[in-house]
Amino acid sequence: MRLVDIGVNLGDRRFAPDREAVVQRARAAGVDRLLLTGTSLPRSHAVAELAARQPGVLFATAGVHPHDAKTVDAHTLPALAALLDQPHVVAVGECGLDYDRDFSPRPVQRTVFADQLALA
């Protein structure tokens, strides 16, 4: 059986000291591939860069979490589209709606979600 972890949040720099050890432990446990989650444009760039270092093992998503929807500007969607052209960036995300905490206004979340669906 091949295992894939589809929600790995290793893009934050606070994970840098043991990021490689986390990947090695996952591989030792039988996880063949890991999908690193982009939650903002900067984080999407970071995880794309990490995935490029271990082709065939690490893959990345590019997207904006609904909490960060209010940060999306005219540059964001074209930049996400450019990331999605990279072979190791395989999905749009993290995206969606999060009405639990409303860190971004709901109408903004809906617009950004629809825009990201169009990218997918």
Task: For the chain, give every domain's residue range.
Answer: 3-119
The per-residue pLDDT string of the chain (120 residues; one tens digit each, 9 = 90 and over) reads 899 999 999 988 888 899 999 999 999 999 999 999 999 999 999 999 999 999 999 999 999 999 999 999 999 999 999 999 999 999 999 999 999 989 999 999 999 999 999 999
Report the topology of domain 3-119: TIM Barrel (3.20.20)
CA atoms within 13 A on the CB side of 113: 14
pLDDT tens for 53-75 read 999 999 999 999 999 999 999 99
Nearest to 29 by CA among 5, 54, 58: 5
pLDDT for the residue 20: 92
Contact criterion met (CB below 8 Å) for 111 and 80:
no
